[in-house]
Amino acid sequence: SQQGEEDPQALSIQEGENATMNCSYKTSINNLQWYRQNSGRGLVHLILIRSNEREKHSGRLRVTLDTSKKSSSLLITASRAADTASYFCATDPNTDKLIFGTGTRLQVFP
Amino acid sequence: NAGVTQTPKFQVLKTGQSMTLQCAQDMNHNSMYWYRQDPGMGLRLIYYSASEGTTDKGEVPNGYNVSRLNKREFSLRLESAAPSQTSVYFCASSGQVGTDTQYFGPGTRLTVL
């Protein structure tokens, strides 16, 4: 079974709105990463948050991590049509491998 | 730098045929990975190589073999393709195995008839 699961599975918003997607995981982690995948392309790393961090920012991205709830959220502010993609969280449940979630498909309409 | 490159980009096989997917990285990374991605699912790890000369099974290794040819190259072989292996295959690399950021290739779309 998947270590990380994103919610919602799909999200549609208008340009300028904020997009929030969530990731829940099952076991303790060292860090959690978020990746983006444009249609037909490979994944691109967005941001990494360590288990001892609660919030991290990168440009229009804001990631939070709540280890007590085993959950993380990715907020994209002032979304653009170019943000249309699938977003995946990835965790390292104390192993030497990353485990990817099933992803959130984000559609941003102009 | 090209990053992570994969060949071919597309491939159609008949059941029982064999083929090798090639992957190369020019970032001097120690670790390399092969994933498959099926519709509605995230990436599932097939095999990985923590460092040159080592390979280990991931979540779904059955039906596949790998070779870490040198530090740059990591190939994935399907000895006898099956329709269940129809998928998009991604190669990735990272500085160190585990928690490091992974860099992905563009993928190979494989169809097995």
Asked if the Cβ–Cβ distance from B40 to A102 is below 8 Å, we say yes
Under a CB-based contact definition with an 8 Å cutoff, are residues B30 and B12 in contact? Answer: no
Contact B97 A48 (CB under 8 A): no
Q: How confident is the model at residue A5 (pLDDT cuts 50, 70, 90)?
A: confident
User: Which residue type, as a one-letter code, is found at position B111?
Assistant: T
Between CA B10 and CA B14, with CA B12 as vertex, the angle to 5 degrees is: 160
- Record the tokens describing residue B91, joined without a space: 């190669």
Q: Does A41 touch chain B (CB under 8 A)?
A: yes
How many CB atoms neighbour CB A14 within 10 A?
10
Cis (ω within 30 of 0) for the bond into B39?
no
Contact B22, B108 (CB under 8 A): no
On whether any CB of chain B is under 8 Å from the CB of A30, the answer is yes
Chain B touched by A39 (CB under 8 Å): no
- pLDDT for res A95: 67
CA pair distance A71, A73, nearest whole angstrom: 7
Cβ distance A30 to B99 less than 8 Å, yes or no, reads yes
Shortest CA distance from B40: residue in chain A: A102
User: Are the Cβ atoms of B4 and A42 closer than 8 angstroms?
Assistant: yes
SS3 B84: helix
A42 closest CB neighbour out of B40, B101, B104: B104
pLDDT at B72: 97
Residue A65 · residue A51 · CB < 8 Å: yes
Tell me the nearest-neighbour CA distance from B3 into chain A, angstroms.
12
Q: Please tell me whether the peptide bond between B83 and the residue prior to it is cis, using omega within 30 degrees of 0.
A: no
> Which residues, listed in sequence order, are joined to residue A89 by a DSSP beta bridge?
A34
pLDDT in tens, A43-75: 999 999 999 999 999 999 999 999 999 999 999
Positions in chain B short of pLDDT 50? none
Q: Which of B101, B108, B109 to mutate to test the interface with A (most CBs of A within 10 A)?
A: B101
What does the pLDDT look like over A13-33, one tens digit per residue? Answer: 999 999 999 999 998 888 999
Distance (Å) from the alpha carbon of B28 to chain A's nearest alpha carbon: 18
* C-alpha distance from residue B68 to each of A5, A82, B11 (Å): 31, 36, 22
Report how far residue B110's alpha carbon sits from residue A66's, in angstroms, rounded to the nearest whole number.
38
The SS3 of residue B19 is strand
